[in-house]
Amino acid sequence: MRSFHDALEAFGRPVVTASEVAREHDWSQSEAMGALENLTAATDVQRVEVGTDPVVWFPTDWGELADRERVIPFPKRREIVVDKPTQFTRAQLSQFAHLVDVSGAEAYRYEIRKEDIWQAPYESFDRLLRTVRQVLPDRQPELEEWIEDQWRRARQFRLRTHEDGYTVLEAVSAELMGNVARQELDETQLRAPMSDTESWVAEGSEASIKRTLYDAGYPVQDDRDLETGDPLDVSLDLDLRGYQRDWVNRFVDAGSGVLVGPPGSGKTIAAMGIMEAVGGETLILVPTRELASQWRDELLARTNLTSEQIGQYHGGAKEMRPVTIATYRTAGMDRHRSLFDSRRWGLIVYDEVHHVPSDIYRRTGELQSRHRLGLSATPIREDEREADIYTLVGPPIGTDWDELFDAGYVQEPEVEIRYVPWDEDVYQSEYATAESHEKRQLAAANPVKIDEIRSILGEHGDAKTLVFADYIDQGDALSEALSVPFISGEMPHARREKLFSQFRQDERDILIVSRVGDEGIDLPDADLAILASGLGGSRRQGSQRAGRTMRPAGKSRVYVLATRGTTEEDFAQRQLQHLRSKGIRVQEVDSERVNETAVE
């Protein structure tokens, strides 16, 4: 029977002829007919004769066929559709393809973009090709040729430091230098030719050259010998995991890069290992003051650094030390910029690096350092400016999420979208006549969600729980209904920190959190997240909130609530798209209240 199913998949149809079965398995026609007749006698297969056409055969048990994974490539469109993908397949596809959408929670559609190949985490094309061939059902020469072309494009140009100290742009051929670089770049970026394959780079134009050539389809490798910076003796007081040591080694080899791994995989610890390997004064950039304080505490707890060696530079403190932790906003301000730029940093760490491309923070990408390190679980942006992350900071360095789940380093979450019905009073009196933005707010704050949250909390007993609410009015309503504090940006900093401390120390089991909880707050022992509302369809926000539960210990559960018949349905799907692309299954169910409403 397995051979019969293999033939069905090979020809991409639910029915086959005896000739097709024979061709697929290199059998004679009589051998194929005999095998099919035996299956028919055993009632596993049925046959149909259609006039003068050949006899066709199909499986009696359609369910078995329907439950099997089916991978269908469309090489001309560079798309792959996978029906009922296994976790292994989803994890492998995430290495070189981009998840576009999911239909009915079963059919996954991927697109292979040029930037996916440029950024694929492989040291050689052969290793990348091996992964592609593990996923696709058969060889795709046209697609493989395009992938190889994109792989080579990412290795055609490099920046290096001349022995006299200035920067040189180098191409692998005179044709590329003349027809690409010197056509795309102007006199403000290239000062003069040095040879047919080399050009003298204008000081300070390196970032714009990398961006321009990236847009032209040629990522630039940055091999400059930047200033080492003043030395700093840093040693880590714990052993790194195997994949973390691999991250450190790959970063040291490349000189720059972005660590990409799931929440809880220890990117901060690996960053400290990189600080140890670099051995130079370090600037750490973070989006919030809370995260600055957490970095300081972690450095004091995990390394030999003393409090006198660690400074914080933001709205609440102005300390410039061998290791300085600053907010992006402060470091990018004109009145502070010269101070940061004059320091000889051996390493700049960009935590939550997905912020760097924004107009407010991108100036920090121009600060000078020998090494640049980015950290992010979700280097994705809704404005599609992910490319700026890699041109301003460095190439991605990552590990398969699947491997970390299997090894128990990170807990794979159980994720569920739960659709809830409307509160009829609110629907009739407000939603039906509201404008588009008001409709989104009303759907987010649907009062039925309060009962649904109570139900979920009842299902999970004493689980440490974070409830996320994007709208202040909704957060206040949930706080009053559940008798649980609501933490928002309006809450005084001291009160906020006290509540988070109580949560960490098991003095509180439940908190309601606004967007202030999306980044920069360490909640290592949460094991249940309820997304009562979200920022549109932000993939990063959905992944970050789910990531609050993805620690090694305990049970990781995530519920996303969406009001039926509203844009929240689409938002919920999009929010979880990044998690799906990493091999995490997402269930979709209707709340029992939907059925109750139907009965009424």
What pLDDT is stored for residue 295 in this prediction?
92
Find the mean pLDDT for residues 63-73: 68
Residue in the structure block whose two tokens are 């080694």: 249
The Cβ-side half-sphere exposure at 358, using a 13 Å CA radius, reads 14
- Label residue 510 by pLDDT band (50, 70, 90): very high
The confidence score (pLDDT) of residue 289 equals: 82
At 543 the pLDDT is 65
* Residue 105 CB coordination number (10 Å): 14
pLDDT level of residue 360 (50, 70, 90 thresholds): low
Looking at the predicted structure, is the pLDDT value of residue 70 above 90? no
- pLDDT, one tens digit per residue, over 183-201 is 999 999 999 999 999 999 9
The answer to pTM > 0.75 is no
- The mean pLDDT value for 164-173 works out to 93
Q: How far is CA 26 from CA 3, 6, 405, in A?
A: 11, 13, 40
pLDDT tens digits along 289-330: 878 888 999 999 999 999 999 999 887 678 889 999 998 888
- Measured at the CA of 114, the angle between CA 111 and CA 120, to 5 degrees, comes to 90
The reported pLDDT for the residue numbered 597 is 42
Quote the tokens at residue 410. 């990170």
Round the average pLDDT of the chain to a whole number and report it.
82
Calculate mean pLDDT across residues 572-589. Answer: 78
Annotate 38-94 with DSSP letters as a single string: HHHHTTSEEEE--TTSPPEEEES-HHHHHTS-EEEEETTTTEEEEES--HHHHHHHT
Q: Work out the percent of the chain whose per-residue pLDDT is above 70.
A: 83
Q: How sure is the predictor about 599, in pLDDT bands with cuts at 50, 70 and 90?
A: very low
Instruction: Indicate if the pLDDT at residue 414 is higher than 70.
Output: yes
CA distance 151 to 128: 9
At 65, is the pLDDT very low, low, confident or very high (cuts 50, 70, 90)?
very low
Task: Please say if the pLDDT value at position 381 is more than 60.
Answer: no
Find where tokens 């659709």 sit: 419
Q: How confident is the model at residue 540 (pLDDT cuts 50, 70, 90)?
A: low
Q: What is the pLDDT of residue 189?
A: 94
Sign of the alpha-carbon dihedral angle for 126, 132, 133, 139: negative
Strand, helix or coil for residue 236:
strand
Q: Is 342 exposed, middle or buried (0-12, 13-18, 19+ CB in 10 A)?
A: exposed
Please compute the mean of the pLDDT values over residues 208-231 and round it to a whole number: 82
**What average pLDDT does this structure show over 481-492?**
89
Hey, what domains does the chain have and what are their CATH numbers? 2-65 (1.10.10.10), 69-153 (no CATH), 157-218 (no CATH), 242-399 (3.40.50.300), 411-599 (3.40.50.300)
Per-residue pLDDT band at 270 (split at 50, 70, 90): very high
pLDDT in the model for residue 304: 95
| 8-state DSSP, 231 | B
Express each pLDDT in 542-564 by its tens digit.
666 666 666 666 678 889 898 88
pLDDT value, residue 406 = 72
Mean pLDDT over residues 390-401, rounded? 77
pLDDT value of position 104: 57
